Amino acid sequence: MNFIKTTFALGLIVSSTFIFAQKYEPVVLETKKGNENKSVSDKKEDVKYFIQFGIMSRNHDQFKNKYGVGVVYENCVITTYMSEKAKKNNQEVARYLTEKYGESWKKDLEIIPYGL
């Protein structure tokens, strides 16, 4: 009797693996170099804007209307490439504004741009 129970349990286990076994298909992940996602910061270069990271907390329309320079908010996740790009861009825009308007634009912006 014990032999019959053991044989029945073993047969049940073997048959269930044939019925319910999942097919294995390996997943191939692609890696990207740098920031290859198209983002807002890939706009035309003749339009000047500061790049900030994080959740947008202020409306900068008055600043944009007055100085012609906008503020673009990117993701909270920052890669090394994006960080360097933002620092370089923000320093160039700050230099442009300082040459054209002096130091008054800093008070009107009400934030410290990333990398300054």
Q: Got the DSSP string for 48-60?
A: -EEEEESS--S--
pTM above 0.85, yes or no: no
Calculate mean pLDDT across residues 3-23: 71
Calculate mean pLDDT across residues 41-70: 78
Calculate mean pLDDT across residues 34-55: 65
| The pLDDT of residue 77 | 80
Q: 63: closest CA among 105, 12, 116?
A: 105
Reported as type and span, the H/E element at residue 39 is: none
35 vs 57, more confident: 57
**Helix (H), strand (E) counts: the chain:** 4, 2
Task: Give pLDDT tens digits for 78-100.
Answer: 888 888 999 999 999 999 999 99
What's the full length of the chain, in residues? Answer: 116
Instruction: Please answer whether residues 39 and 60 qualify as being in contact, where contact means their C-beta atoms are separated by less than 8 angstroms.
Output: no
| The pLDDT of residue 79 | 85
| The pLDDT of residue 41 | 46
